Amino acid sequence: MLDRCYSVATRVRLSAVALLCCAAGLHAMPAAATNSLGLAPQGQVELVQKREQKLKKPVFKQAAWHQDLGEALAAAKRSDSLVLVYFTRSYAPCEPCEAMESGLLASDEFVQWSKQVTLCIHVTSRIPDLKGDNLLYEFGGNGFPTLSLIDASGNLLQQLGGGEVQLDGLTRAWQKLQTWQALRAAVVAGKSDQEPALFAMELAMGNRPYAEMVARAKSLAFEGDSKKKVEQQLVNLEFTEVLRKTPRDAKGVGPDKAAGGAMLLVMFEQGRYPDCSTETSYWEYLLTHAGKQQDAVLFERMLNVVKQRKKGDARLTRYLNQLEAQLEVLKGKKG
């Protein structure tokens, strides 16, 4: 959800309870991670004003920040650089964003470092019909603040999230991408012996299409433990693509989880479950779909898999109990 605004540590804690937000809207995610923070309805004029105020902050005058991604991509092509996009929001307060804007982004060290990339700021505003307002979601992001490194063609290469991101983390990410670019150039130049290393890096980064990576994995003919690892990474990549392709909900403020769950059904039936940091969304989407369909049998099958995979995780006890209660409601409706 694009409402999330919390630190990395808080994200780790909340990921354990993300299953609470599922199926038919019978319960919602913890208030700290949703838009049920007591925000009063806002008119378009107010939303526009808040966005303008955000963009006028002094920190975004200290370096060459573009406010339009298209302009940033064009500049990146001219300078042969990567684009660093800073995703923040203006429609509601965001303490981790404020911390990043008064800390990392305002530092002289960052301003100097940023000269090797093209900078772009994107502000999610919730202004009705504003073109590109859902850009973070389209890039697979789910919280504020997020820093995304993309190439000059607009392809996502890497994302860093949370107010605790520091310059050394950005530097490591940038250096990794320099290595990636060198490997890719070598393979394009005909150095086929570099293909396994390039494949492994791109699969870990998740920045290539799933179908392409499946074909490349087949041609590289992995065996044993390497094959198992690649197969699991491909499952994670396929799931990530579904997340990015999931349409918006009717209100246009979040993903249509039921639609996403329908897209994931084949993976579930084949026993292909992701083990990445966004795994909870996989089950959330599936359970939402089953709940919307009022399919108690399917819901129970999914819930049983979740319970088995999360066995022993005391943090989920309360929420799994709520899912059990929800299952009983579904069974009652069928009865």
Residue range 172-197, pLDDT digits in tens: 999 999 899 899 999 999 999 999 99
Contacts of 124 (CB under 8 A, 6+ apart): 2, 87, 88, 89, 90, 91, 133, 134, 135, 136, 144
Domain 43-172, second-level architecture: 3-Layer(aba) Sandwich (3.40)
pLDDT one-digit tens code per residue, 50-98: 999 999 999 999 999 999 999 999 999 999 999 999 999 999 999 999 9
Q: Is the pTM of this model over 0.85?
A: no
**pLDDT tier at 334, thresholds 50, 70, 90:** low
Residues 6+ apart with CB under 8 A from 154: 69, 73
The helix (run of H) or strand (run of E) holding residue 179 is: helix 167-188
Farthest-apart Cα atoms in the chain, separation:
66
Total Cβ atoms within 10 A of residue 239? 26
Residue spans of the domains in the chain: they are 1-38+247-335, 43-172
Residue 120: per-residue pLDDT: 98
Percent of the chain with pLDDT over 90: 64
